Amino acid sequence: MPLPSPRQLVATTVLCACVPIAAAQTPTEAELARRLDQLAAELAAVKAQLAALQRERAATSSAPNAPPAPPTANAGGAAPVATTAPATTPPPPMTAAATKPAEPSTVITSYGEINYNRPVHASENAQADLRRFVIGLQHRTDEKTKIVSELEVEHAVSSSDDKGEVEVEQAYVERQFTPTWGARVGLFLVPAGLLNENHEPTAYYGVERNFVETAIIPTTWREGGLQVVGTFDNGLTLQTGVSTGFDLTKWDATSTEGRESPLGSIHQELQLAKARDLSVFGALNWRGVPGLLLGGSVFTGGATHGQAVASSRVTLWDVHARWTPGRWDLAALYASGSISNTAALNAPLVGNPTLIPSRFDGWYLQGAYRLWTHGDYSLSPFVRWEEFNTARSFADLGPGLTPAAWPTERVVTLGGNLKVTPEVVLKADYQWFRESKDANRVNLGLGWSF
């Protein structure tokens, strides 16, 4: 079918939009008709110029060394139109990846918390503390490789006369080999429990971290080594590797540090870490159902490095679950640790207050409910019941020498988290201790993470 003429195209467009159909032309319609004739003539001239340019391009393609054709005058006798020779290869069309803004290659992260603790039976011991301040730096060298680092300051001031510490919490290189498999090499967090890899104050309930994942699992726990990570389409994540481990030669039987956390007192944090005996670890976490996490982990390795009276192995494992249906956030965890050959290790230490336990464990149940939201604000009351024992049993040393198992501590925490934004949280809670009743306390906290 023949195409309409330029005048027909312009006339149809303008008349349909502006002029009602009538039997006779008014003066206004006559003026419009005159302008249509002028537009049609100009459009015809433009078409002629385009045809000439197409012929010029065809001639240039067939004879690349030929001089360019002179500019063509338009049909209405107007001045020649200046033209620019087209590129030999037009630019490729923009894809979704090309139009997507590039992510920054270097990112600064941070988290921190300021806490206030007031024992209700010993208010003279109330204290405020900048518990920790962490600054992180991540740099992506390409689409598959990034460098992750975090530097932490605890208790605000670090010097020979202060209780504060400065420490490197993470420093590793991560490489993604395929969409499923990647690896980390360096100083990284051990995949254990619910808290160790996600320990920012905005990620957990309560002013203080729960006791099971500090006294039994020594959060924040990191080791140096190689970790392989597999992420599968069915929601399963596998983490496994080889790393440095614990050092039982650091055990101080004269202090209470080992009573507070057996493994926390002998972890090495890659500080001139003894590495004759390496450890292996593995963790499985399944997120195949929205809002549900089921997982577990195990870590085991030698811990005497040929420098003690007997070889000993430290093993720690846990199982955990978290379910977030609607406004609810429910969690449960059990962790258990063991140290082998402690009878031989404890024999020279008899008479000191803190011998090495052969087994320690703990568990907790926690429930939170998002009660109120308004804009960025979100209030979530919670309750947590936990029981833990840092010396569930000791190896037999003979009559009158074997220590009795320590009592199991039970702590109930009732409080709430008020998120001002997703990155800032205010916290308040009250804690009841069954064994150490004098430790009952009120806690207030401010935390942030970005």
Task: Answer whether 0.85 is exceeded by the pTM.
Answer: no
What are residue 282's DSSP bridge partners?
240, 298
| pLDDT band at residue 445 using 50, 70 and 90 as cut-offs | very high
For 293: left if phi > 0, alpha if psi spans -120 to 50, otherwise beta; the answer is beta
Q: What pLDDT shows up at residue 316?
A: 98
Choose between 101 and 261: higher pLDDT. Answer: 261
Model confidence over 235-290: pLDDT tens digits? 999 999 999 999 999 999 999 999 999 999 999 999 999 999 999 999 999 999 99
Do 281 and 189 meet the contact criterion of CB atoms below 8 Å apart? no
Q: What's the average model confidence in pLDDT over 150-172?
A: 94
Instruction: Report the distance separating Cα 362 and Cα 216, nearest Å.
Output: 7
Amino acid at 149: S
Locate 162 and state its tokens: 């202060």
Q: What's the chain's average pLDDT?
A: 86
Q: What pLDDT shows up at residue 38?
A: 65
Q: What pLDDT shows up at residue 50?
A: 73
Model confidence over 129-149: pLDDT tens digits? 999 999 999 999 999 999 999
**How much is the CA Rg of the chain, to the nearest whole Å?**
36
Model confidence over 309-353: pLDDT tens digits? 999 999 999 999 999 999 999 999 999 999 999 999 999 999 999
Q: What pLDDT shows up at residue 13?
A: 40
CA separation (Å) from 203 to 64, 111, 184, 355, 366? 66, 11, 23, 35, 14
Residue 67 reports pLDDT greater than 70: no
Model confidence over 390-417: pLDDT tens digits? 999 999 999 999 999 999 999 999 999 9
| pLDDT band at residue 54 using 50, 70 and 90 as cut-offs | confident
85 secondary structure, DSSP code: P
Do 33 and 18 meet the contact criterion of CB atoms below 8 Å apart? no
Q: What pLDDT shows up at residue 161?
A: 87
- The 3-state DSSP class for residue 125 equals helix
CA separation (Å) from 236 to 43, 55, 93, 181, 295? 64, 62, 38, 12, 9
Alpha helices in 309-386 (DSSP H): 342-346
The tally of CA atoms less than 13 A away on the side-chain side of residue 368 is 23
